């Protein structure tokens, strides 16, 4: 891996800042129409805050709700060309704001935990499927086959979903693909989930000298008591913005290329990284 002036893999730094929003709200169990309306409303709120992109929690369109989704995926999961996404598409197109929306996705009889990427023109650009499934998800969902890098206004964003972010290799793969930010839809719960998120995300940011963005649920969904506290961290691992634990809220932060460059100059972790996975190891027995 090479880095030029703070640019992993030779990818140029963005030329100007970008404002990103992270949204949290109470998902209505199994009510895709109601949750779609919430997403559309918060996209418009993000646009009023001058955000270029807004991210929503994991499987927000149905709520987390694995039992409902598994019992009737045609009703409780999103399908290809699903007309229920129209309010979201309209909101993106009318405001010029892009969105990353968490959904269960039903495709050719398989279920995925997905992040749907809706462009500012209202078109579904792509979907990212969660690669690291939580233990209870493996009986229902198929794991994603590939990572996903988005480009918007010169910024490269690596997508993750919840448990993905617990694996340093996942964010590192995004950073090695030139990503400037790691953007994650999630469900973290009160107690251990809050502790995990406050450990993982600053680490992912500092390890890769990239911004980290978390969108989390509030309230109860799928039997989990979510802890809210959606947040954005800088490339030095320091907290930039944080929502409250239990109320609908939208937070924003400006991602700045000069801040990114300064962080990579002072913490040259990506530039100095050596691939030690293929190196031989020496082993000794102590007595």
HSE-up (13 A, CA, CB side) for residue 86: 2
| Cα–Cα dist 48/195, whole Å | 32
Residue 237 has pLDDT above 80, yes or no: yes
Q: Within a domain: residue 283?
A: no
Q: What are phi and psi of 201, to 5 degrees?
A: -70, -45
Give the CA distances from residue 149 to residues 160, 178, 234, in Å, rounded to whole numbers and listed in that order: 10, 9, 19
Q: What's the angle, vertex CA 229, arms to CA 227 and CA 232, rounded to 5? A: 145
210 falls within a domain: yes
CATH number at residue 161: 3.60.110.10
Q: What is the mean pLDDT of residues 176-199?
A: 97
pLDDT of 91 higher than 90: yes
Q: Would you say residue 128 lies in a domain?
A: yes
d(CA 222, CA 30): 10
The answer to whether the beta carbons of residues 76 and 105 sit under 8 Å apart is no
99-147 pLDDT tens trace: 999 999 999 999 999 999 999 999 999 999 999 999 999 999 999 999 9
Does the reported pTM lie above 0.85?
yes
Does residue 38 sit within a domain?
yes
Question: Beta partners for 251?
Answer: 22
Structure tokens given for 92? 């993106």
**Distance, CA of 203 to CA of 54 (rounded, Å):** 22
Which tokens in the block code for residue 56? Answer: 């929503």
- Domain membership flag for residue 171: yes
Query: Is 11 contained in some domain?
Result: no
Q: Is position 252 within any domain? A: yes
280-285 LR contacts (CB < 8 Å, sep 24+) = none
Structure tokens at 57: 């929690």
- Beta strands 224-225 and 231-233 are unpaired
Q: Residue 236: which of 209, 259, 196 has the closest Cα?
A: 209
Structure tokens at 193: 């989930």
**Between 195 and 287, the higher pLDDT residue:** 195
Q: What is the mean pLDDT of the chain?
A: 95
Which pLDDT does position 9 carry in this prediction? 53
Residue 260 lies in a domain: yes
Which residues span the domain enclosing 21?
A: 17-270
Residue 93 contacts residue 124 (beta carbons within 8 Å) = no
Helices (H), 123-273: 168-176, 192-208, 257-266, 269-272
- The answer to whether the beta carbons of residues 90 and 218 sit under 8 Å apart is no
Q: Are 210 and 180 in contact (CB under 8 A)?
A: yes
**Number of folded domains that form the chain:** 1
pLDDT digits (tens, 9 = 90+) for 260-287: 999 999 999 888 888 777 778 888 989 8
Q: Calculate the alpha carbon distances from 242 to 180, 236, 277, 278 in Å.
A: 20, 16, 36, 39
Which residues are registered as beta bridge partners of 117? 100, 126
pLDDT band at 7 (very low <50, low <70, confident <90, very high): very low
Q: For residue 12, what pLDDT band results from cuts at 50, 70 and 90?
A: confident
């Amino acid at each position: 891996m090479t880095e030029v002036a703070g640019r992993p893999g030779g990818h140029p730094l963005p030329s100007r800042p970008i404002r990103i929003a992270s949204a949290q709200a109470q998902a209505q169990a199994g009510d895709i129409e109601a949750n779609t309306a919430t997403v559309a409303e918060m996209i418009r709120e993000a646009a009023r805050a001058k955000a270029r992109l807004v991210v929503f929690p994991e499987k927000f369109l149905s709520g987390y709700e694995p039992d409902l989704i598994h019992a009737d995926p045609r009703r409780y999961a999103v399908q290809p060309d699903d007309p229920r996404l129209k309010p979201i598409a309209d909101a993106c197109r009318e405001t010029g704001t892009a969105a990353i929306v968490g959904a269960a996705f039903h495709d050719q009889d398989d279920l995925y935990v997905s992040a749907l990427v809706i462009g500012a023109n209202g078109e579904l650009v792509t979907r990212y499927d969660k690669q690291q499934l939580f233990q209870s998800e493996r009986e229902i969902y198929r794991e994603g086959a590939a990572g996903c890098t988005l480009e918007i206004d010169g910024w490269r964003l690596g997508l993750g979903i919840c448990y993905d972010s617990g694996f340093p290799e996942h964010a590192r793969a995004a950073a090695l693909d030139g990503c400037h930010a790691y953007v994650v839809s999630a469900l973290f719960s009160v107690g251990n989930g809050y502790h995990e998120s406050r450990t993982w995300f600053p680490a992912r940011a500092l390890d890769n000298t990239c911004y980290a963005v978390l969108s989390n649920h509030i309230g109860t969904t799928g039997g989990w008591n979510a802890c809210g506290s959606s947040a954005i961290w800088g490339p030095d691992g320091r907290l930039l913005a944080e929502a409250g634990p239990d109320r609908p809220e939208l937070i924003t932060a400006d991602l700045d290329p000069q801040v990114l460059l300064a962080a990579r100059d002072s913490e040259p972790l990506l530039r100095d990284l050596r691939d030690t996975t293929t190196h031989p190891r020496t082993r000794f027995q102590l007595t």
